[in-house]
Amino acid sequence: MNQRIAFVASQTEEAQAARAALSVRYGDAPLAEADVIVALGGDGFMLRTLHRHMARALPVYGMKLGTIGFLMNQHHLDDLQQRLARAQSAVLRPLLMEVVTEAGSSMSALAFNEVSLLRQTKQAAHVRILLNDVAKIEELICDGILVATTAGSTAYNLSAHGPILPLDSQLLALTPISPFRPRRWRGAILPAITEVKFEILDPYKRPVSATADSHEVRDVVEVSVRESREQTMTLLFDPEHNLEERILNEQFEL
Work out the average pLDDT over 95-101: 98
Work out the average pLDDT over 212-217: 95
Residues 6+ apart with CB under 8 A from 182: 137, 140
E-state strands within the chain = 5-9, 36-41, 60-64, 88-92, 95-101, 106-111, 114-119, 125-131, 134-142, 144-148, 171-177, 188-191, 196-201, 208-212, 215-217, 220-227, 233-237
Distance CA 68, CA 241 (A): 14
* Nearest one of 63, 66, 173 to 115, comparing CA atoms: 173
Work out the average pLDDT over 237-251: 78
Q: Which residue has the higher pLDDT, 57 or 226?
A: 226
Whether 2 contacts 27, CB under 8 Å: no
Q: For residue 223, is pLDDT > 90?
A: yes
- Burial of 23 from C-beta contacts in 10 A (0-12 / 13-18 / 19+): middle
For the chain, domains (ranges, CATH) are 5-92+232-250 (3.40.50.10330), 95-227 (2.60.200.30)
Distance CA 124, CA 58 (A): 42
Distance CA 109, CA 83 (A): 33
Distance CA 207, CA 126 (A): 9
* DSSP 8-state symbol, 151: G
Name the average pLDDT for the chain: 93
pLDDT digits (tens, 9 = 90+) for 126-182: 999 999 999 999 999 999 999 999 999 989 999 999 999 988 889 999 999 999 999
Q: Which amino acid is at 51?
A: H
Distance (Å) of CA 227 to CA 94, 162, 196, 234, 254: 6, 18, 10, 16, 31
pLDDT score for 249: 76
pLDDT score for 254: 63
Positions marked active-site: 43
Distance (Å) of CA 216 to CA 92, 104, 110, 161, 209: 21, 16, 11, 22, 7
Q: For residue 241, is pLDDT > 90?
A: no
Residue 246 pLDDT class (50, 70, 90 cuts):
confident
pLDDT score for 245: 77
Instruction: Give the N- to C-terminal CA distance of the chain in Å, as an integer.
Output: 43
Distance CA 204, CA 249 (A): 43
Range name among 177-181, 213-217, 229-233 with the lowest pLDDT average: 229-233
Distance CA 156, CA 176 (A): 11
What's the farthest any 2 CA atoms get from each other in the chain?
61
Q: Which residue has the higher pLDDT, 94 or 66?
A: 94
pTM of the full predicted structure?
Answer: 0.89
Distance CA 115, CA 212 (A): 4
pLDDT digits (tens, 9 = 90+) for 190-212: 999 999 999 999 999 999 999 99
Q: For residue 66, is pLDDT > 90?
A: no
Residue 24 pLDDT class (50, 70, 90 cuts):
very high
Q: For residue 74, is pLDDT > 80?
A: yes
Pairing of strands 196-201, 125-131: antiparallel
